[in-house]
């Protein structure tokens, strides 16, 4: 029987070997990209179920060490999971209460300051027909024209709020079950794995989850540093509600860019309302300095180490996540990318260094 190998038969292949390898890699990239795109579209369609699962995984990665310590201390697994979830609710609820209380205390002053600023702007541009009376009359006309759209927007907003609350409750319940049954995860995964791939699949899952744990630890550390720096600055400047504003900064740090912008804007408004324009400028300077420190030092240094990714990859992942799913995409982009990198690293460690076995010698 003749050998079909082109080299053995003396014929040259149609394409050189480098081009054939390039074509194989291009086909692989296109296939993976198609699978990823279809997966993203499916997740978007079923986001009400997918988002709580992803958030619960992040919460489990963050709270896992606390749960393991309680179990080691002799607490039953279900009780330890329940105590961990109660602690989360207490911490988050306490932070929200402090923030809301601080904003309520200075809310009237913030509104008064904004009204004064609006009057100043209207007085400066009054000759151009932008007085407050003109704005009020125009507002009535616009309200008559677009009242239906506004009502529709309010109804849509209420629906979004209800959906968000439902997803948050579901995520909290999933965190409880994930923590309680974390010891059974490996066995369940091995039982569902195809024959002969259980070890590889378990190793990939462990590597991905460890990467997510690293991201959550890094983000929490960065959020703590941001909150402490801004809280100290607000206390030095004698801005009211410094503790609440610091808690807002800590919570906002889990949403890259947007959370920092919102929490910083609230701090500046509170300072403007209670301490005046000069102190507000100082607060703005502190907020900008902390964000520069986070963006150029803490985020690249800490986050790239904990998730083992280059800072450029972190920034690209955040941008891509924002373009796909907005704020939620920004929150989930880096941990998901870290998990993917962990899986690729595990595959490379297992199969990347394997070399083909040498052919047996035909020499007698």
Average pLDDT of the chain to the nearest whole number: 76
Indicate the pLDDT class of residue 5, thresholds 50, 70 and 90.
low
Whether residue 252 contacts residue 262, with contact meaning beta carbons closer than 8 Å, is answered with yes
Q: Helices 242-252 and 258-275, interaxial angle, to 10°?
A: 170
Report pTM: 0.67
CA distance 272 to 281: 8
CB half-sphere exposure, 16, CA atoms < 13 A = 2
Answer yes or no: is pLDDT of 107 > 70: no
Q: What is the pLDDT of residue 97?
A: 77
Indicate the pLDDT class of residue 30, thresholds 50, 70 and 90.
very high
Measure the CA angle with vertex 71, ends 65 and 74; round to 5°.
145
CA distance 62 to 49: 21
CA distances from 22 to 14, 27, 31, 228 (A): 14, 9, 14, 51
Q: What is the pLDDT of residue 129?
A: 47
pLDDT digits over 306-352, tens only? Answer: 666 776 777 788 788 778 777 777 778 878 888 888 888 888 877 76
CA distance 225 to 208: 26
């Amino acid at each position: 029987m003749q050998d079909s190998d082109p080299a053995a038969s003396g014929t040259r292949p149609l394409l050189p070997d480098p081009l054939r390898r390039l074509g194989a890699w291009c086909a692989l990239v296109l296939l993976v990209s198609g699978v990823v795109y279809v997966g993203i579209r499916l997740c978007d369609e079923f986001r009400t179920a997918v988002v709580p699962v992803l958030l619960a995984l992040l919460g489990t990665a963050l709270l896992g060490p606390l749960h393991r310590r309680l179990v080691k201390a002799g607490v039953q697994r279900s009780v330890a999971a329940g105590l961990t979830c109660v602690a989360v609710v207490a911490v988050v609820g306490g932070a929200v209460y402090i923030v809301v209380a601080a904003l309520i205390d200075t809310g009237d002053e913030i509104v008064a300051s904004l009204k004064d600023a609006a009057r100043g702007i209207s007085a400066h541009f009054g000759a151009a027909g932008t007085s407050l009376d003109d704005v009020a009359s125009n507002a009535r006309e616009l309200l008559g024209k677009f009242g239906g759209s506004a009502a529709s927007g309010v109804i849509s907003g209420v629906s979004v709020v209800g959906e968000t609350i439902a997803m948050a409750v579901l995520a909290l319940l999933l965190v409880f079950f994930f923590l309680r049954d974390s010891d059974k995860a490996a066995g369940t995964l091995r039982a569902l794995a195809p024959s002969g791939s259980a070890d590889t699949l378990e190793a990939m899952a462990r590597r991905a989850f460890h990467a997510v744990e690293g991201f959550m630890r890094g983000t929490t550390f960065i959020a703590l540093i941001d909150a402490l720096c801004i809280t100290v600055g607000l206390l030095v400047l004698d801005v009211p509600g410094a503790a609440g504003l610091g808690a807002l900064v800590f919570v906002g740090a889990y949403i890259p860019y947007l959370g920092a912008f919102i929490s910083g804007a609230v701090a500046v408004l509170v300072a403007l309302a209670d301490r005046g324009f000069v102190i507000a400028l100082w607060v703005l300077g502190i907020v900008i300095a902390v964000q520069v420190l986070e963006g150029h030092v803490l985020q690249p240094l800490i986050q790239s180490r904990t998730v083992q990714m280059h800072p450029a990859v972190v920034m690209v992942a955040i941008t891509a996540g924002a373009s796909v799913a907005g704020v939620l995409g920004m929150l989930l982009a880096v941990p998901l990318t870290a998990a993917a990198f962990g899986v690729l690293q595990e595959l490379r460690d297992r199969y990347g260094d394997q070399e083909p076995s040498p052919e047996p010698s035909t020499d007698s």
